[in-house]
Chain A
Amino acid sequence: GAVVSQHPSWVICKSGTSVKIECRSLDFQATTMFWYRQFPKQSLMLMATSNEGSKATYEQGVEKDKFLINHASLTLSTLTVTSAHPEDSSFYICSARPPVGAAKKSAKNIQYFGAGTRLSVL
């Protein structure tokens, strides 16, 4: 399957600092990427949809000024957690979806996931 790289895999930061997480699609161009948050023993919660060259679409309840998303190229989306606080500690996962036509018909809506980033805010 396709490869999505996420970096860093784990970051520990002080409260009040900002943290940037990168998500790269390595073998396809992704016009759409997704950012999820996952608490221990819970399902993935979609935070926002990142669209290349345009503003991200945030889910209800997600602060767009808190979680800045930039999708400047077809292979890179970044999530910046601004002024992080302990309650922001979580597992953040990105995914990328191949553009229509790039994947076989049966998998046209498939999402490939990064390995996730564990954020620990002290």
Chain B
Amino acid sequence: GESVGLHLPTLSVQEGDNSIINCAYSNSASDYFIWYKQESGKGPQFIIDIRSNMDKRQGQRVTVLLNKTVKHLSLQIAATQPGDSAVYFCAEFGNQFYFGTGTSLTVIP
């Protein structure tokens, strides 16, 4: 795996606003992507996934967008709530499973 131990970028949003978290992936052969949410002191939790034959997938209050041309993945959270405050990681899977550096989301009440 090539998860890189870089310090996390941060994003602050007002409660009720929409959040967009971005992720650039490196392997053009990756065909499966997952967004995970990690709260402080806990393990990552699955949020939503998408395969490379799709460019958009919606869940409950979350939408994942995939742009294979520029190798970019985004997670949109609608009507962000304080409980959404966490670190969000994207993960790509081709031959191996790689995590992105993560983004720390803080929701301001």
Q: How large is the interface on A (under 10, 10 to 19, 20 to 34, 35 or more residues)?
A: 20 to 34
Q: Chain A interface (Cβ within 8 Å of chain B)? A: 1, 4, 6, 34, 36, 39, 41-46, 59, 91, 93, 95, 106-116, 118
Please tell me if the beta carbons of A110 and B49 are within 8 angstroms of each other in the complex. yes
Contacts of B3 in A (CB 8 A): 36, 43-46
- A46-B1 CB under 8 A given contacts A106-B49, A114-B43: yes
Is B89 in contact with A44, judged by CB distance below 8 angstroms? Answer: yes
| Chain B residues near A112 (CB-CB < 8 A) | 46
- The 26 sampled A-B contact pairs (Cβ below 8 Å) are A39-B5, A41-B8, A42-B7, A43-B3, A43-B5, A43-B6, A43-B101, A44-B44, A44-B89, A45-B1, A45-B3, A45-B4, A46-B97, A46-B99, A93-B43, A93-B44, A95-B44, A109-B32, A109-B93, A110-B46, A111-B91, A113-B43, A113-B45, A115-B42, A116-B42, A118-B41
The answer to whether B43 touches A116, judged by C-beta atoms less than 8 angstroms apart, is: yes
Number of interface residues of B (CB under 8 A): 27
Inside 8 A of B41's CB, which chain A residues have their CB? 91, 116, 118
- A36 to B4 alpha-carbon distance, docked (Å): 12
Binary interface profile of B, 1-15, with partner A (CB < 8 Å = 1, else 0)? 101111110000000
The 5 A-B residue pairs with the shortest CB-CB distance, nearest first, are A46-B1, A113-B43, A109-B93, A42-B5, A116-B43
